[in-house]
Structure 1
């Protein structure tokens, strides 16, 4: 899995957490509101928030598992092909060096 994909998934998880937190704050702020419709709506929103939290936990666990699998695959590859990994690292270093050098001019 690409690093940017993992980062975007982490960002999505953080945004969902913030949205859930905001919804919980809104529910707390409207706790003193009376009426049958408001009570039903609050109950429905609370049920959906609980469901969203459970699914978010599952998504986080899956993301962690995928990240660990990617790290393990990288570790195995580097141990099986150390010279290739060194060559790729050197090539990336040269490219970054050239880019930094060209920006100074």
Structure 2
């Protein structure tokens, strides 16, 4: 199960990146309200750079998550192919337990 920390780490890094991007964007928008000309252009360039970096990080995290998800799906398909009756038994057991829990309400 070494994949879970990788997925959680990627998700946490992505969320931190989004929060930083939002904070930077808000700060730039507030400070650029009274600016014109070269200063405004400089702030817009900073904003474009930040958005570009965020997009690259998102693409990287998306690729990592896609690869890890594909590995999990492949492992599940292999297991189900090798042990179909065990999978049916587990699914029936989980369904039975869920039925008991729902029936209690």
TM, length-normalised to structure 1: 0.65
Q: Which residue of 1 aligns with 2:44?
A: 42
**How many residue pairs align between the two structures?**
88
Aligned counterparts, 1:1-105, within 5 A: 1=3, 9=11, 16=18, 23=25, 33-103=35-105
| RMSD after superposition | 3.1
Show structure 1 runs of 4+ deviating over 6 A.
none
What runs of 5+ residues in structure 1 fail to find an aligned partner? none
What runs of 5+ residues in structure 2 fail to find an aligned partner? none
User: Hey, what's the Cα distance between the residues in 2 that align with 1:44 and 1:63?
Assistant: 28
CA shift, 1:68, in A, is: 1.2
CA shift, 1:76, in A, is: 0.4
